[in-house]
């Protein structure tokens, strides 16, 4: 009985602290970004990155490899997007925005990509779509729950936000600014060629502008 109790405590410690912390000394970060209380783990980032690559791969006609994706900055883009989503999640949590299971289910059932031949929600089509996208059902539900909460938050801000008067006036002036230009057409005949200069005029002009009209001196050596 004592051995079973000790073994149970050990298993519980694994669940709470993680196996890596016990065998590797603890204190090691298992996440790549931390936003408030939310952590973006390497596994989560990797899964999201792979899903993103599958989405954009058809645009490259099968020529997208890991090196090209890195050069194009795709890993950084995915991480920045996840950080932005996490910031919205924190704001939604602070405001007490919660999405019920009923709302999530209604959202899933209204998604056109999850409908069968009859035009209604089809659970088989739904599970196939999740498999192709690399989602588990629980993972997709939580992702969708966060997306709905973020949309609710963004919609509230957009609907209730009001720009300061000075900002609105400055934007109005810039967007409504108009400029007037006058075009003047001058015919070639209005500008006749100057008369041909005589030798005296050329000599006088050359004397004043000798430096500009003199070629530099060169030396040749064989």
Q: Could you list the pLDDT tens digit for every one of the 222 residues in the chain?
A: 545 444 454 444 434 433 334 334 445 567 888 888 888 888 888 888 988 888 888 888 878 888 888 889 999 999 998 998 888 888 888 888 888 999 999 999 999 989 988 888 999 999 998 888 888 888 889 889 888 988 888 777 666 667 788 988 998 998 899 889 999 999 988 888 888 999 999 999 999 999 898 888 888 888
pLDDT, residue 159, reads 66
Task: Tell me how far apart the alpha carbons of residues 7 and 14 are, in angstroms, rounded to a whole number.
Answer: 11
pLDDT, residue 88, reads 85
Number of domains in the chain: 2
Domain closes at, from 22, 56, 86:
86
Structural domain for 52, as ranges: 30-86
pLDDT, residue 17, reads 39
Residue 46 lies in a domain: yes
Residue 144 lies in a domain: yes
Which among 34, 23, 140 is positioned nearest to 86, based on CA atoms? 34
Indicate if 75 and 122 belong to the same structural domain: no
Residue 193 lies in a domain: no
Indicate if 107 and 78 belong to the same structural domain: no
For the entire predicted model, the pTM comes to: 0.50
pLDDT, residue 63, reads 81
pLDDT, residue 203, reads 94
Indicate if 111 and 154 belong to the same structural domain: yes
pLDDT, residue 66, reads 85
pLDDT, residue 25, reads 43
């Amino acid at each position: 009985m004592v051995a079973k109790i000790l073994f149970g405590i050990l298993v519980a410690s694994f669940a709470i602290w993680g196996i890596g912390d016990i065998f590797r000394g603890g204190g090691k970060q298992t996440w790549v970004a931390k936003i408030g209380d939310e952590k973006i783990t390497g596994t989560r980032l990797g899964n999201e990155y792979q899903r993103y690559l599958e989405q954009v791969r058809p645009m490259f006609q099968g020529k997208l490899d890991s090196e090209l994706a890195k050069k194009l900055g795709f890993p950084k883009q995915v991480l920045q997007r996840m950080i932005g989503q996490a910031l919205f999640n924190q704001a939604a949590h602070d405001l007490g925005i919660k999405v019920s299971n009923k709302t999530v289910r209604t959202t899933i059932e209204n998604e056109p990509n999850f409908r069968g031949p009859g035009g209604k929600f089809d659970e088989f089509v739904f599970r196939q779509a999740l498999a192709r996208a690399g989602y588990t059902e629980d993972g997709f539900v939580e992702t969708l729950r966060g997306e709905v909460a973020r949309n609710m938050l963004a919609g509230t801000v957009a609907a209730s936000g009001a720009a300061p008067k000075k900002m609105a006036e400055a934007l109005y002036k810039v967007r409504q600014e108009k400029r007037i230009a006058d075009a003047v057409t001058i015919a070639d005949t209005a500008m006749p060629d100057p008369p041909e200069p005589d030798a005296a005029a050329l000599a006088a002009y050359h004397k004043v502008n000798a430096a500009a009209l003199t070629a530099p001196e060169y030396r040749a050596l064989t």
